[in-house]
Amino acid sequence: MDLAGLDVTAWGVDPDDPQLSRPLADLPLKQPIVLSPQASAGEAIERMRDGHEGCVFVEDDSEGIVGVFTERDVTVRIAARGRDPKRTLLEDVMTRQPTALQKDDPLSWALHRMGVDGHRHIPILDDRRLIGFLSIRTVLRALLEA
Amino acid sequence: MLDLGPLPAPRLAPNATVQQALQFLVRGRRGAIVVVEGGDSPRPVGIFTERDVLYRISGGLFTSREHRHRIPLSEVMSQPPVTVRRSDPLVDAIGVMVREQYRHLVVVDRNRVLRGLLTTSDIVQFLTDQFPEETVNLPPRLRQRYTSREGA
């Protein structure tokens, strides 16, 4: 991939660019799909397909958000193991306690977490409340339009 | 010529089984398998991604052992694969991924021989490498308990 050498300013992303310090709340966050831990993976799959989203969040009445179940989990934890999604509970296949960021945190932190964790989605909070999530595509689009 | 690194491309032949494809998807850790023909000079004829699994799983395709071991990859792959060249500007590749909602682009040379697989994660990795001070040394406050409801 040629990027005019290492000159990333060729496509408008400057290491000192305030773009990277934009608060996450400035970006178009996606509405989270939220299901209970006892919902089936099958229902989560349907919701992801209908909503064209790559993840669902799992919420328990008393504990709040307890996990996330993603498109990747469908392959790794359901399909590759030959499990029947309709008979598999989300609580058995979700990733617990997904790391979140706050709405005032900068875009650079989201990039960092995606790079470190290898995740494609990050939940965004307003203090303790989930207000949406950020996808890797949203981040790339934001940098592209910088 | 910018080097984004090796861009590993897990690959299988079109007659590989769905079972093999699923195992490769898991082990390859790239989110996709490039389906290729042609031994020494492999040419991509399709791609099979986690998204394809998501869209096909409801048909019971992956639960039946018989199906997994008999159905060839050629029947479930997406084709033709969208390709880019190493010499293409990265910004154009990102534009395609954002607009078309792809997470993977197959990299080929001018003879259409497979040279790699570009993923959104590769791009994020590249970006975090470019801006180490901006993106690495900041300790995010990790919030562990949160809810979707008001006033929690």
pLDDT in tens, B63-83: 888 888 999 999 999 999 999
**pLDDT tens digits for A2-11?**
333 333 444 4
The Cα–Cα gap between A144 and A137 comes to 10
Find, in chain A, the residue whose alpha carbon is nearest to that of B65.
Answer: A82
Q: Percent of chain A scored above 90 by pLDDT?
A: 66
H or E element that contains A102: strand A101-102
First to last CA, chain A: 20
Please indicate whether, in this complex, the C-beta atoms of B97 and A140 are within 8 angstroms of each other: yes
Mean pLDDT of chain A: 87
- What mean pLDDT do residues A61-81 have? 94
What is the C-alpha to C-alpha distance for residues A34 and A21, in angstroms, rounded to an integer?
A: 29
B57 vs A8, A11, A74: nearest CB: A74
Query: For residue A145, what pLDDT is reported?
Result: 78
pLDDT range class, residue A146, cuts 50, 70, 90: low
Average pLDDT over residues B42-62: 93
For the beta carbon of residue B72, count every other beta carbon within 10 angstroms: 17
Torsion sign across C-alpha atoms A116, A5, B105, A19: positive
pLDDT per position as a tens digit, A89-103? 999 999 998 989 999
Whether residue B111 lies within 8 A of chain A, CB to CB, comes out as no
Q: Residue A4 has what pLDDT?
A: 32
Give me the pLDDT at residue B60, please. Answer: 80
Average pLDDT over residues B91-120: 95
Task: Give yes or no for B43 touching A (CB within 8 A).
Answer: no
Q: Model pTM? A: 0.89
H or E stretch covering A104: none
More confident residue, B16 or B143: B16
For residues A70-88, average pLDDT: 95
Query: What domains lie within chain B, and their CATH numbers?
Result: 11-133 (3.10.580.10)
Q: Which of residues 50-89 of A touch B (CB under 8 A)?
A: 52, 57, 59, 63-65, 71-72, 74-76, 78-80, 82-85
- Judge whether B135 is closer than 8 Å to chain A, CB to CB: yes
CATH number of the A20-144 domain: 3.10.580.10
Neighbours of B150 (CB within 10 A): 6
* Closest chain A C-alpha to B101 CA, distance in angstroms: 8
B149/A129 Cβ within 8 A:
yes
Mean pLDDT of B137-149: 70
pLDDT 10s digits, A34-59: 999 999 999 999 999 999 999 999 99
